[in-house]
Every structure is written in C-alpha cells, then in structure tokens.
Amino acid sequence: MKILNEANINFLSRSSNESYARMATAGFFAQLDPTVDEISDIKTAVSEAVTNCIVHAYRNTLGKVYLTVRILEDRTAYIKIRDRGCGIDDIKQAMEPMFTTAKQEERAGLGFAVMQAFMDKVTVRSAPEKGTTVVMMKKLQARGDD
C-alpha cells in the first residue's frame, strides 16, 4: 500500500508522555477528517500500546518509545509503536484477555484486547530483551459513507 504521509516521534517512557502520544497521533490523522468515534478509537488504542511500553517493557526504568504514523492511500491509518524493552516471551499468552505481568500493580490485562476491539488489524512482534513492535491499522470512512 502506498504511503501518502508519515511522521515519526520518540519520547521517554514516562507516564506523562502517554497523553502526548495520543494527542500527536490524533493531530496527525485529523487531516483525514475522521469521525469523532474513529479518532476516539485511535486514541484509545495508542494509549493502550504506549502504556504497555511504560508499564511492561521498561518496568521501573526509562527507555525510548518510538511512534510512527502513516496515512496509506485508501484512508487507512497505520500506527507503529516500538520499544527496546524486555520483550514478550509468549505473545499469544500476552494477548489473552486478563493476562498481565504486572499483577502487583493491579493491572487488568486488557491492553491488547482493547487495541483489537478498536482497530481493524493489530500485529505484534517481540523478542526477549530486544523489544516489542505493535502495528495497528484502521480504515477510516470517507465522509458521506455513514
């Protein structure tokens, strides 16, 4: 699929930067004039992915989170969130609802389930001690397609 526009940012894995990632992503996709529901879905999915980096990938340390956003030719929003943290040993297990590696912090273990609920496609690649990459895609309606 042809890339029509792209932006890249990176930031430290501080919880205060989660809202920055959400708003930067929403601002980028605003050029497509998405519906309120579409932009809300995107912001929620980004929030979950970035929070996973902060809480799980860099537990009790700081690292960089890398965010790539793209507009593809068919009004598809493409979002890639990557870290170089601890990685995921078992991706299938990690994507199961209610599974968490942060039980002591009372985490619900719903991050990946939320991402999958709000986006059309979610793929996860990870390697222990090398990090995790989450790619999410959502096709946005053209105004008048309601």
DSSP of the chain: --EEEEEEEEEE--TTHHHHHHHHHHHHHGGG---HHHHHHHHHHHHHHHHHIIIIITTTS--EEEEEEEEETTTEEEEEEEE-SS--S-HHHHTSTT--S-GGGT--S-HHHHHHHHSSEEEEEEETTTEEEEEEEEEPPPTT--
Q: Which of 17, 48, 75, 82 is catalytic?
A: 48
- Tokens matching residue 52: 């996973």
Listed residue (1, 50, 55, 62) closest to 25, CA to CA: 50
- 48 is known as an active-site residue: yes
- 107 is known as an active-site residue: yes
- 84 is known as an active-site residue: no
Q: Which of 38, 52, 75, 82 is catalytic?
A: 52
Active site residues: 48, 52, 107
